[in-house]
Amino acid sequence: MQAPLELFGIDGLLSDEERAIRDTVRAFVDDRARPHLAEWYDDARIPARELAVELGRLGLLGMHLEGYGCAGTSATAYGLACLELEAADSGLRSLVSVQGSLAMFAIRRWGSEEQREEWLPRMATGEAIGCFGLTEPDFGSDPGGMRTRAVRDGADWVLHGAKMWITNGSVADVAVVWARTEEGICGFVVPTDAPGFSAPEIRRKLSLRASVTSELVLDGVRLPASAAFPDVRGLRGPLSCLDEARFGIVFGALGAARDCLDATISYARERAIFDKPLASYQLTQAKLADMALELGKGMLLALHLGRLKDAGQLQPDQVSLGKLNNVREALGIARQCRTILGAAGITLEHPVMRHANNLESVLTYEGTSEVHQLVIGRALTGESAFR
Ligand code: FAD
């Protein structure tokens, strides 16, 4: 018997360091997260603060960034870590993605030296948690329409507006908030204890329940001039961050799919139906074979994109190829696995429906499938069909 990714000989494509990082994250997840996942999901609570410190101790926060206490690993190693985290739960991977690829990356790439020194070392250890506020209630796929506004008042900036669906919002110490200014869209580093800032949590989610999702309310938040990112205006700033997070999802989604498939193969081998193991039926094997194939193809694509990124050659359109394919296929795998588990598949006794529900959010955030189809369509035809 071979695990699906063993069948593809994936291990042989990884360096010793990449395998070591993967194994460390897998061991952490098995020990620290897996025993609690069903409970976190059921209760819609995750001990984000404690976990952030533990993830920071492992060097996983902002792990692919250089300096300021960050580990400075390869992009591929970061992707493999995302895969192992999401094999536990997309919520755990979201915590790490938003911290490292959105909030920390934004400050590392676009922040002033003062902003970097103030926040990055504490964010790398998990002592400070970050969030990233781009989406608004009326502007998701079209962030350029945002209404959140920052106006100058003497040397200060004053922010008014609301952000929606913000991961880590209610537990964050710092929010990277994108707002419209007279100079164009600009990013601000907002300490969450600033007067006028609040982050009510969004409840009653049926997906990503083991993840904090919040609204950000900016009611006349006064910030010093130094809170603005100095050198970036327009959507180029936030989109550069989204590319980073999407890259992690290209790998991450496969973790959820692998976990579903592993759980389903075990189940099918043990479940006897009409006096024979469910795994011994051709219909079951056909499903398993097709899913293993999609998982392995997705993994080869992820590794290819990882190698391109490590060579400094990865283009945003290529990240769209990976995000679109791997999340869509992962969700397909999770749904198909559920059919093999029958009624048992709808419970939290098995990880499958939890992953499937989580992947519904993953399909939507960081660019919906349709947005990535439009990106790829534009690259293929030279015609933009966004509006
Ligand atoms: P809409 O933009 O309203 O899209 C609705 C539908 O229209 C979709 O199917 C979409 O694909 C489709 N559509 C859009 N444009 C076109 C078009 N041109 N042609 C055809 N169809 C189109 N945002 C943040 O800023 N920070 C976060 O930390 C964050 N975390 C999130 C966590 C969760 C759990 C979720 C669910 C979302 C999060 N988001 C976050 C928001 C996320 O990025 C948005 O939900 C996403 O961009 C889609 O926006 P929307 O939900 O407003 O959908």
Predicted pLDDT at 374: 98
CA distance 18 to 336: 30
Residue nearest (by alpha carbon) to ligand 1 atom 45: 365
3-state secondary structure 311-327: CCCCCHHHHHHHHHHHH
Structure confidence by residue, pLDDT tens digits, 73-94: 999 999 999 999 999 999 999 9
pLDDT band with cut points at 50, 70 and 90 for residue 136? very high
Q: Topology of domain 130-227, per CATH?
A: Butyryl-CoA Dehydrogenase, subunit A; domain 2 (2.40.110)
Say yes or no: CB of residue 361 within 6 Å of ligand 1: yes
Question: Alpha-carbon dihedral of residues 142, 145, 150, 151, nearest 10 degrees?
Answer: 160
Q: Does domain 236-381 have CATH number 3.50.50.60?
A: no
Q: How many angstroms separate the alpha carbon of residue 278 from the centre of ligand 1? A: 39
Structure confidence by residue, pLDDT tens digits, 46-69: 999 999 999 999 999 999 999 999
pLDDT band with cut points at 50, 70 and 90 for residue 36? very high
* pTM of the complete model: 0.98
Beta bridge partners of 214: 166, 201
Structure confidence by residue, pLDDT tens digits, 239-269: 999 999 999 999 999 999 999 999 999 999 9
Ligand 1 atom closest to the CA of 361, numbered from 1:
36
Predicted pLDDT at 75: 98
Predicted pLDDT at 109: 98
Predicted pLDDT at 191: 98
Q: Topology of domain 4-125, per CATH?
A: Butyryl-Coa Dehydrogenase, subunit A; domain 1 (1.10.540)
The DSSP call for residue 162 is E
Average pLDDT over residues 330-341: 98
DSSP notation for 202-258: P---SS-TTS-EEEEEEEEEEE-GGGB-SS--STHHHHHHHHHHHHHHHHHHHHHHH
pLDDT band with cut points at 50, 70 and 90 for residue 340? very high
Predicted pLDDT at 195: 98
Spatial contact of 101 and 127, defined as CB atoms under 8 Å apart: no
- In 91-170, the DSSP E strands lie at 130-133, 149-153, 156-167
Instruction: Work out the percent of the chain whose per-residue pLDDT is above 70.
Output: 100
Q: How many angstroms separate the alpha carbon of residue 361 from the centre of ligand 1? A: 9
Spatial contact of 148 and 180, defined as CB atoms under 8 Å apart: yes
Predicted pLDDT at 86: 98
Structure confidence by residue, pLDDT tens digits, 167-207: 999 999 999 999 999 999 999 999 999 999 999 999 999 99
CA distance 211 to 367: 19
Say yes or no: CB of residue 132 within 6 Å of ligand 1: yes
Q: How many angstroms separate the alpha carbon of residue 230 from the centre of ligand 1? A: 28
Predicted pLDDT at 258: 98
Say yes or no: CB of residue 175 within 6 Å of ligand 1: no
To test the ligand 1 pocket, which listed residue (104, 135, 387) has its Cβ within 8 A of the most ligand atoms? 135
CA distance 290 to 286: 6
Say yes or no: CB of residue 165 within 6 Å of ligand 1: yes
CA-nearest of 380, 74, 26 to 247 is 74
Q: How many residues make up the chain in this entry?
A: 387
R_g of the chain computed on alpha carbons:
21
CA-nearest of 196, 99, 113 to 157 is 196
Spatial contact of 288 and 264, defined as CB atoms under 8 Å apart: yes
Structure confidence by residue, pLDDT tens digits, 95-129: 999 999 999 999 999 999 999 999 999 999 999 99
Shared fold status for 4-125 and 236-381: no
Active site residues: 366
Domain boundaries, the chain: 4-125, 130-227, 236-381
Question: Alpha-carbon dihedral of residues 156, 161, 163, 164, nearest 10 degrees?
Answer: 160
pLDDT band with cut points at 50, 70 and 90 for residue 339? very high
In degrees, to the nearest 5, what angle opens at C-alpha 121 toward C-alphas 136 and 49?
60
